[in-house]
Amino acid sequence: MTSFDWHADPIDRDTPVTTSYRNTQNVRRFLTVECGDGFAFDRAFMAWIKNGEKKTMGDVAAEWKRRHAATAG
C-alpha cells in the first residue's frame, strides 16, 4: 500500500491521520469546510493532531470545534 498523499489525495471525515500526516493546503481546505471560515492551525492543535493517538480527520475537525466552541459567535 502506498502512503497517503496529504497534498493531493481526497480527505474526508473517515480519513485516518497517519504517521505521514502534514498540515497541507489540502488539509486546510478540508478543515475550513468542516469547521468554518474561522479555522486556523495553532501550535497546540498541530501537536495534538500529531501526538500518535489513533484518530480520523473527523476527530480532528470535532476537536477543533470543541476547542473553539467558547469563541464561536
Q: Over the stretch 39-59, which tens digit does the pLDDT of each residue have? A: 999 999 999 999 999 999 999
29/10 Cα distance (integer angstroms): 11
pLDDT grade for 20, boundaries at 50, 70 and 90:
very high
Is residue 73's pLDDT more than 60? Answer: no
Which residue ranges make up each domain of the chain?
Answer: 1-73
Q: Is the pTM of this model over 0.85?
A: yes
Kindly give the interhelix angle for 25-35 and 57-68, rounded to the nearest 10 degrees.
60
CA dist 69 and 54 (Å) reads: 23
CB atoms under 10 Å from CB of 50, counted, come to 13
Closest residue by Cα to residue 30 from 45, 15, 49: 15
Residue 72 has pLDDT above 70, yes or no: no
Question: What is the predicted pLDDT for the residue at 18?
Answer: 95
